[in-house]
Structure 1
Amino acid sequence: MSRIGMAIAEGLIAFVATNLDDIVVLLLFFSQISANFRRRHIVFGQYLGFAAIVFASLPGFFGGLIVPREWIGLLGLLPIIIGVKQLVDRDTEAAQVQTVTGEFENSSCRNPTFSFFSSLLNPQTYKVAAVTVANGGDNISIYIPLFAGSQLASLGIILAVFFSMVGVWCAIAYLLTRQPTIANLLSRYGQPIVPFILIGLGLFIMYERGTFRLIFSA
């Protein structure tokens, strides 16, 4: 596989693995659309929150400029550990998603109206961004080893895939709100496969960085 294809694959796998639960949150958002809470608030808020998560993960890339790629690959153990932990704590993970979405729903009820200056300055946009960061805080642990050891061009491709997928995720969630049966199936059966995807991603990072050669040659 070419370097470009590898970067695209890494970006897609990492995004899907870390944002499947975001579909549930987005479904809640789009189900609450009203005169004071528009689709653009959700989309802008999602991009803003995700950008904050990516920015917090960038130190992994700069660390990778100093540390050899083979050693950087050891960070692939983080997604594996997180995946195993999620397998052990399935009920806790599900409760955390419910808590995050529930807090947004309650907050919306307490604040029924907001002044409209612009979509980017609207409090609803920042509310969505805050929920996105809260729900995706663990993503940083996945993105740091992904960014670390990547070349600048590969990082650019991965980020392009990430931000493209944010828009795709919003579109999928909006369309699913019109298909309750599909939305129910996704929210029920999507989350259980996430730990296995994370474990696979961790192994893929270690393989691509040459970490297995380092381990077996020791």
Structure 2
Amino acid sequence: MNVGIIGQAAGLFAVTNIDDILILALFFAQGAGHRGSTLRIVAGQYLGFAAILVVAVAAGFGATFLPEAVIPYLGLLPLALGLKAAWQAWRNHRDGEGEKEGGAASGGPGVPAVAAVTFANGGDNIGVYVPVFATEGIGGMSVYVVVFLLLIAVWCLAGRFFATHPVIAKTLSRWGHILLPVVLIAIGALILIEGGAFGL
């Protein structure tokens, strides 16, 4: 196996997914203390990224499942999830529930929510992956896919590390219920604006 192509795949993944570490850390912080939350977050991350890869690989072979004009509107997913999280945080605050109680009520993030955010946040990456996959052929494309899937595990470990690191964990525990909706709403708005959705 060509070491060069492995390095290229790792570099491409890192450059296009660096922001996912922050989102994962927020998800892991939200799920802290909830049984099975780590498994749900990892499963959601893999599911969302697998969907990105399916679309990118298919487009690399010439099939188009996701028209380019649709990609900016993927920003509606994290925007909606962010607004829902903000509403939940406001309701918990209004009802006088503690942060931990509010988190316990939600049981941490679910697989569909994590997958939706992962897919929406990585939707613009499809445009980067397609030409690379198309020029690499089946052999090279397979290497990229395997490297990407392995690096998702590394990203999940990094996100969990940051969420459990004492200093960061304390900050996320105190402000995570506010940071998560803010980050999701910002990501959604950014995707919509940069893509020119709704004539923005």
How far off its partner does 1:19 sit? Answer: 0.5
How far off its partner does 1:5 sit? Answer: 1.8
- Other-structure match for 2:146: 160
Mark the runs of 5 or more structure 2 residues left unpaired by the alignment.
64-75, 92-101, 172-200
How far off its partner does 1:37 sit? Answer: 6.3
Mapped partners of 1:101, 1:180: distance in 2: 27
1:169 aligns with 2:149: no
- Other-structure match for 1:41: 40
Mapped partners of 2:87, 2:156: distance in 1: 21
1:147 aligns with 2:127: no
Mapped partners of 2:122, 2:147: distance in 1: 17
Mapped partners of 1:38, 1:148: distance in 2: 36
Mapped partners of 2:38, 2:6: distance in 1: 28
2:113 to 127, 144, 162: 127
Mapped partners of 1:107, 1:162: distance in 2: 34
1:23 aligns with 2:14: no
- TM-score w.r.t. the length of structure 2 is 0.60
Residue identity opposite 2:135 in structure 1:
G
- Other-structure match for 1:137: 123
- Name the count of aligned residue pairs: 143
Mapped partners of 2:111, 2:5: distance in 1: 31
Closer/same/farther in 2, CA of residues 48 and 36 from structure 1, 3 Å limit: same
How far off its partner does 1:140 sit? Answer: 0.6
Q: CA-atom RMSD, angstroms?
A: 3.3
Mapped partners of 2:134, 2:84: distance in 1: 33
Map 1:98-109 → 2, pairs under 5 A: 102-103=82-83, 105-106=85-86
| 4+ residue segments displaced more than 3 Å | 98-114, 180-184
Closer/same/farther in 2, CA of residues 23 and 151 from structure 1, 3 Å limit: same
Residue identity opposite 1:102 in structure 2:
G
- TM-score w.r.t. the length of structure 1 is 0.56
Residue identity opposite 2:27 in structure 1:
F
- Other-structure match for 1:86: none
Q: Percent identity?
A: 37
Is the contact between residue 56 and residue 130 of structure 2 (CA under 8 Å) also seen in structure 1?
yes
Mapped partners of 2:43, 2:166: distance in 1: 24
Residue identity opposite 1:151 in structure 2:
G
Mapped partners of 1:24, 1:100: distance in 2: 19
How far off its partner does 1:127 sit? Answer: 1.0
Mapped partners of 2:87, 2:43: distance in 1: 19
Closer/same/farther in 2, CA of residues 108 and 51 from structure 1, 3 Å limit: farther
